Structure 1
Amino acid sequence: MSQDPTNSADVREDRVVTNGFGNPINEPFATQRVGNHGPLLLQDYNLVESLAHFARERIPERNPHAHGSGAFGEFEVTDDITDVCGSKMFEKIGKKTRLLVRFSTVGGEKGSADTVRDPRGFATKFYTEEGNLDWVYNNTPVFFIRDPSKFPHFIHTQKRNPQTNLKDADMFWDFLTTPENQVAIHQIMILFSDRGIPASYRNMNGYSGHTYKWSNKKGEWVYVQVHIKTDQGIKNLTAEEAAKISGENPDFCQQDLFENIEKGNFPSWTVYIQTMTAQQAKQVPFSVFDLTKVWPQKDFPLRRVGKMTLNENPKNFFAQVEEAAFAPSNTVPYQEPSADPVLQARVFSYADAQRYRLGTNYNQIPVNCPYASKSFAPFIRDGSMNVNGNLGSESNYLNNSSKYTFKETERPIQQHQEVWDGPAVPFHWATSPGEIDFKQATDLYQNVLSKQPGQQQHLAHNIGIHAVNARPDIQKRVIDWFTRVDPNLGKDIKAEIAKAASAKANPKL
């Protein structure tokens, strides 16, 4: 690899300080005036540049996932999966690929605390020889919605009330407990368990959540979900521990990640996949495209792929983490999106968000450049901040007198895969009949949390101390919602709400 996304721009080796255009600055704090104490002169360009750039040095924050941390590292193949995927990054055991990981909270602003109850983003950019590959995952294996049109609505309810500008428990629980959104129950069970607040980024897993399609070089394909399991072990915080840390050090996880890598205590994760054939997908009691369901591991066991290790801190946070742009549209041969509707929407919306946030040529920012593969896109030209030469005199369309090579013709693997036929229909994939949307949540409560001392009670407590801030009618909906998971859970939440309400009415002085 001839280039590295950690390289800084060219700077003067003699360290002579200049303005942005290379003109030397004589005295950094002197300003041009009429006499010693007269008015400033507009011709003082160094002052004007400094103030104008300062007013513009913040780019729009992500919406969501504004608050996060990142580091560089490598992925190493430990097991042969070429029967499942033909991507070159998996072509042989021992092969290493450079990567960047960004961890983040979802709903908070850029200055929010690390230790809030929120899903965590787990986004990985692989700099592969076939182009950049982005795995834009979370630390939970499911999500709140499966209708992509609900995403803006859902995120709005997790942010601030438009009148009070405060976080609003009414908004939060009103949206989730609406009957048509009952599919959120599984994710909410995870979020309000202790796993809703990881003790550090190093001590949490990552999951694709979505179903993807992977193919081998013969064109044989399967549905795939990816699991990235921490080698440091899962560690979480209670609500009270997290609140204390938030007040003492809101950047707790950022500091933990940076300092551990700086000390050589490199965190690592083992990557696994689950696979499902098209025939198997017809047999499971839920849709393979349903983002609110997990694949049972007893039916679809984990298969080890490799190891991810973070071993290098960014040299400049803004240039290498804040300007990093992740999108599931950034993929490589043999790894494709499935028909999961939320994933299909993200394929468009994530890249479009980066165009808005960073500019149309955000792929030219060093941390986003496909430096391991290079690029040649003669019809993707011009636009704001085009800084790589814009392909010079190369034609900006595919002309008849130039030679072009198209690799895709060597890989005709789509024709026999998923085949769709039917009219265009507006489909709201809301409530499922019966209890299918609650089954996995019930299994989590009865078969997993029951075996972990105190976790069922922690879940009820965490929900109660949050829902107590909602209106009484919404509190009742919360209790009824979780009663469908398990009657004991509903009863315990009701008790926790009453206990929290009493404490609010009689605060300790």
Structure 2
Amino acid sequence: MSDRNTLTTANGTPVADNQNSLTAGDRGPVLMQDFHLMEKLAHFNRERIPERVVHAKGAAAFGTFTVTHDITCYSKAKVFSEIGKQTPVLLRFSTVGGEKGSADAERDPRGFAVKFYTGEGNWDLTGNNTPVFFIRDPLKFPDFIHTQKRNPQTNCKDANAMWDFWSLSPEALHQITILFSDRGTPKTYRHMDGFGSHTFSLINDRGDRVWCKFHFKTLQGIENFTTQEAVRVKGEDPDHATRDLFDAIDHGDYPRWRVCIQVMTEEQAMRHRDNPFDLTKVWKHSEYPLIDVGILELNRNPHNYFAEVEQAAFSPSNVVPGISFSPDKMLQARIMSYPDAQRYRLGANYQQLSVNQPKCPVMHYQRDGAMALGNNGGNAPNYEPNSYDNTPKQNCAYAEPALDLGNVKVDRYDRRQGNDDYTQAGDLYRLMTPDAQARLVENIVDSLSSARQDIQMRQLCHFFRADVKYGMQVAQGLGIHIDPAMVPAAHQPVGV
């Protein structure tokens, strides 16, 4: 067994020589049996994972969110449960359109993605440094991003594509006006605001819902580059904002943001002049003033960039009880597309990586896939519903109130309610000839006899509800005595 200072292979085998390959003679060829060499080269070929399609260039740090004001009248989320409560966070900043090696000072929106490691699971707020976006319908998103990337022939940025799309998409004008103002070139990540951008919902412990927008107001003050300054900095230090964030935290100059919300009631939303779920528009502060919630502080740099930043996965689908979604079309699409992108980029089990792993117990029936960590669920069932004790079960206490869209309510409707699951199965049984019925029963008994008796009894109830004879035949085949007098009259098809 080697000590902690002895170099080993990934398999733990001590390495005697990390400077010289195994060869046939001093000047001979390298041997394939040099497993250490093969491992190093093979791993090196696989070190790069797909970069993010958007927000590829980024910097991040860890810190805390501290509640300073009570908003429990709006949300039951435990992250807001009491003044002084602290929650660990990870905040990743980014440019949007450029590749991983692009300059930090590009004229571009800046990503502002926060992961709150709450006691009820991870809550991700994936926003930008602007309160609006270029489009309001997700169907246009792939086309828009194509215009921000490289021309398929020249492989250069293409002003024709960019302005062609914008000139045919007037909803982009609000964001264009922000992008080409001073705010399009923030001086550093520390000197800009952040926004959840989308409309979300907050739900309190009485089941009341309000609509909400999240704001992060920098306490370092707003500072921006002029175009000329940005061009100069791009040439002098393409990583200036990444370096600035790391150095500030390293020197104990911890950046902070004031966290606020805007709140709109459902009644106000129905009367609002604009669609309150339109990502191209803001809510006026004069009508919906900022409400203080807390302070977000960054106070720890990542120890390893790849492990804690490149592998960090954010998604607006990550919400917790008391914080939820809205009819915002862009948000609805991102709920699907973000985790889909992470599964492609990192793998099906990306949430098991340390930086993405919730700090609370995780109990589900997802199994297997590449890089499944831990015991992969052990010997517990990998399906639900099940009749095993001490397995995760749904809890209706966490149900959200139905969302009234006027002519329809969005809710999780009980698909069994009012449905007759027995009549047609019984009709089919009664259509069969006696010998076909016998073969049916024989096949069922052959399979069901291997199950536990409590499962057999539960399934027998279904057969009886379809047809008494059907149930009696299966029971006899299983060797279970059923007193016909004990079969309830309620065996008749339900719901009819």
| TM-score of the alignment, normalized to the shorter chain, above 0.5 | yes
- Displacement of 1:401 after TM fit? 2.4
Deviations 1:465-497 (A, max 9, x none): xxxxxxxxxxxxxxxxxxxxxxxxxxxxxxxxx
Instruction: Give the letter aligned to residue 19 of structure 2.
Output: F
Distance between the aligned counterparts of 2:238 and 2:2, measured in 1?
A: 37
Q: Residue 217 of structure 2: SS of its match in structure 1?
A: strand
Distance between the aligned counterparts of 1:384 and 1:405, measured in 2?
A: 23
Q: Out of 280-289 and 327-336, give the one that drifted further.
A: 280-289
Distance between the aligned counterparts of 1:43 and 1:411, measured in 2?
A: 57
Give unpaired runs (5+ residues) of structure 1. 1-10, 423-509
Aligned to 1:490: none
Distance between the aligned counterparts of 2:5 and 2:257, measured in 1?
A: 40
Instruction: Give the letter aligned to residue 380 of structure 2.
Output: E
- Displacement of 1:284 after TM fit? 1.8
Aligned to 1:481: none
| 1:75 counterpart = 2:65 | yes
Distance between the aligned counterparts of 1:211 and 1:333, measured in 2?
A: 16
Aligned to 1:14: 4
Distance between the aligned counterparts of 1:410 and 1:72, measured in 2?
A: 32
- Displacement of 1:144 after TM fit? 0.2
The one of 282, 297, 317 equivalent to 2:285 is 297
Q: Residue 27 of structure 1: SS of its match in structure 2?
A: coil
| 1:102 counterpart = 2:92 | yes
The one of 364, 374, 394 equivalent to 1:388 is 374
Aligned to 1:335: 323
C-alpha change, 1:12 and 1:60, in structure 2 (3 Å) is farther
- Displacement of 1:411 after TM fit? 3.4
C-alpha change, 1:59 and 1:279, in structure 2 (3 Å) is same
Deviations 1:30-62 (A, max 9, x none): 101110111110110110111111111011000
Alignment of 1:31-430 (within 5 A): 31-178=21-168, 181-370=169-358, 372-377=359-364, 379-398=365-384, 399-404=386-391, 406=393, 408-415=395-402, 417-418=404-405, 421=408
Percent of aligned pairs sharing the same letter:
51
- Displacement of 1:418 after TM fit? 4.6
Deviations 1:390-426 (A, max 9, x none): 011011012212344546411343226556539xxxx
- Displacement of 1:12 after TM fit? 8.0
Distance between the aligned counterparts of 2:137 and 2:31, measured in 1?
A: 57
Q: Contact 1:89/1:97 (CA < 8 Å) preserved in 2?
A: yes
C-alpha change, 1:129 and 1:12, in structure 2 (3 Å) is farther
Instruction: Give the letter aligned to residue 388 of structure 1.
Output: G
- Displacement of 1:285 after TM fit? 1.5
Distance between the aligned counterparts of 1:190 and 1:86, measured in 2?
A: 34
Distance between the aligned counterparts of 1:352 and 1:279, measured in 2?
A: 34
C-alpha change, 1:373 and 1:58, in structure 2 (3 Å) is same
Instruction: Give the letter aligned to residue 388 of structure 2.
Output: S
- Displacement of 1:283 after TM fit? 1.9
Instruction: Give the letter aligned to residue 294 of structure 1.
Output: V
Distance between the aligned counterparts of 1:416 and 1:225, measured in 2?
A: 18
Distance between the aligned counterparts of 2:144 and 2:3, measured in 1?
A: 50
C-alpha change, 1:38 and 1:420, in structure 2 (3 Å) is farther
Q: Contact 1:214/1:224 (CA < 8 Å) preserved in 2?
A: yes
Distance between the aligned counterparts of 1:405 and 1:111, measured in 2?
A: 44
Deviations 1:65-101 (A, max 9, x none): 0000000000000000000010001000000000000
Instruction: Give the letter aligned to residue 134 of structure 2.
Output: F
Instruction: Give the letter aligned to residue 70 of structure 2.
Output: D
Distance between the aligned counterparts of 1:340 and 1:218, measured in 2?
A: 24
Distance between the aligned counterparts of 2:45 and 2:398, measured in 1?
A: 49
Q: Out of 14-23 and 397-406, give the one that drifted further.
A: 397-406
- Displacement of 1:374 after TM fit? 2.0
Deviations 1:158-211 (A, max 9, x none): 000000000000001000001xx1000000000000100100000001111110
C-alpha change, 1:362 and 1:71, in structure 2 (3 Å) is same
Instruction: Give the letter aligned to residue 31 of structure 1.
Output: S
- Moved segments of 4+, more than 6 Å: none
Deviations 1:251-309 (A, max 9, x none): 00011000000000000000000000111112221101100000000000100000000
C-alpha change, 1:13 and 1:272, in structure 2 (3 Å) is farther
C-alpha change, 1:273 and 1:262, in structure 2 (3 Å) is same
Distance between the aligned counterparts of 1:277 and 1:404, measured in 2?
A: 39
Deviations 1:365-396 (A, max 9, x none): 100001x212011x211000101210110110
Q: Residue 263 of structure 2: SS of its match in structure 1?
A: strand
Q: Contact 1:221/1:417 (CA < 8 Å) preserved in 2?
A: no
Q: Residue 73 of structure 1: SS of its match in structure 2?
A: strand
The CA RMSD measured in Å over matched residues stands at 1.4
Distance between the aligned counterparts of 2:123 and 2:382, measured in 1?
A: 26
| Higher CA-based Rg | 2
Distance between the aligned counterparts of 2:62 and 2:2, measured in 1?
A: 26
Q: Contact 2:219/2:256 (CA < 8 Å) preserved in 1?
A: yes
Instruction: Give the letter aligned to residue 117 of structure 2.
Output: Y
Q: Residue 355 of structure 2: SS of its match in structure 1?
A: helix
C-alpha change, 1:295 and 1:200, in structure 2 (3 Å) is same
Distance between the aligned counterparts of 1:397 and 1:68, measured in 2?
A: 39
Q: Out of 47-56 and 407-416, give the one that drifted further.
A: 407-416
Distance between the aligned counterparts of 2:352 and 2:17, measured in 1?
A: 34
Q: Out of 398-407 and 386-395, give the one that drifted further.
A: 398-407
Instruction: Give the letter aligned to residue 393 of structure 1.
Output: N
Instruction: Give the letter aligned to residue 53 of structure 1.
Output: H
Instruction: Give the letter aligned to residue 291 of structure 1.
Output: L
Identify the structure with bigger relative contact order (alpha carbons < 8 Å, sequence gap 6+): 1
C-alpha change, 1:279 and 1:355, in structure 2 (3 Å) is same
Instruction: Give the letter aligned to residue 360 of structure 2.
Output: S
C-alpha change, 1:345 and 1:420, in structure 2 (3 Å) is farther
